[in-house]
Amino acid sequence: TQLLEQSPQFLSIQEGENLTVYCNSSSVFSSLQWYRQEPGEGPVLLVTVVTGGEVKKLKRLTFQFGDARKDSSLHITAAQPGDTGLYLCAGSQGAQKLVFGQGTRLTINP
Amino acid sequence: DAGITQSPRHKVTETGTPVTLRCHQTENHRYMYWYRQDPGHGLRLIHYSYGVKDTDKGEVSDGYSVSRSKTEDFLLTLESATSSQTSVYFCAISEFGQTENYGYTFGSGTRLTVV
């Protein structure tokens, strides 16, 4: 059983479209992180959200932490081919360890 | 300069042979982790270390052992490799008290194939 469920697992859209990726759990997390991974490389941290209801923006990417701190979403506006990659959410429950979702493989077609 | 390096980057080994993967860091971080990444499963924790000679199991530790004799090095050993251990292995580091806000720094991974 996956502690963090990401959806969709695969997403292929055209350049310029908007998209949202979801990360859901029945457990409460003290923080939620989003990573992006490119082929042949390790994941790289994009953002951390720590407060219920928190919204953070990183250029065209908007991250939100659910009010109950059990879920998060990543919204990309006007997607570009450079956004292509594997997006991973990860939750912390305060024990210096992270639990990862299965990942969302995003492809942006020119 | 990469603060964390993994070696080798690729390895093919035969079933039943022992294999050791190495993770080296230059950040002097206390915590080091080994994860495996498989399609549909994301990243799953194998073992982690919270200091020299201090290690603990993760959720998929069977068939793996680790050692940390120096702050900078964390070794993962597959005692007798099986085909189910074919995977991409990632090492990650984190400083005490900072995981929650700053997450991990990952290495570039080792692709292991067991034939």
Partners of A9 on chain B (C-beta within 8 Å) are 40
Question: Using H for helix, E for strand and C for coil, what is the string for chain B?
Answer: CCCEEEECCEEEECCCCCEEEEEEECCCCCEEEEEEEECCCEEEEEEEEEECCEEEECCCCCCEEEEEEECCEEEEEECCCCHHHCEEEEEEEECCCCHHHHCCEECCCEEEEEC
In the predicted structure, residue B7 carries a pLDDT above the cut 80: yes
Residue A94: pLDDT band by 50, 70, 90 thresholds?
confident
Tokens 């793996």 locate to B64
- pLDDT averaged over chain B? 94
Put simply, the answer to whether B109 touches A41 (Cβ < 8 Å) is yes
Residue A102: pLDDT band by 50, 70, 90 thresholds?
very high
pLDDT of the residue at A82: 95
Residue B46: pLDDT band by 50, 70, 90 thresholds?
very high
Which residues, other chains included, contact A88 with Cβ-Cβ below 8 Å and sequence gap of 6+?
A: A6, A34, A35, A36, A37, A43, A100, A101, A103, A104, B42, B43
Question: Across residues A70-95, what is the average pLDDT?
Answer: 94
Interface test mutation site (partner A, options B29, B34, B44, B100, max chain A beta carbons within 10 A): B100
Put simply, the answer to whether A48 touches B109 (Cβ < 8 Å) is no
pLDDT tens figures, B29-40 = 999 999 999 988
In the predicted structure, residue A1 carries a pLDDT above the cut 60: no
Put simply, the answer to whether A92 touches B100 (Cβ < 8 Å) is yes
pLDDT of the residue at B40: 82
Determine the distance in angstroms separating the CA of B63 from the nearest CA of chain A, rounded to an integer: 21
Question: Across residues A22-31, what is the average pLDDT?
Answer: 93
Put simply, the answer to whether A100 touches B48 (Cβ < 8 Å) is no
pLDDT of the residue at A93: 80
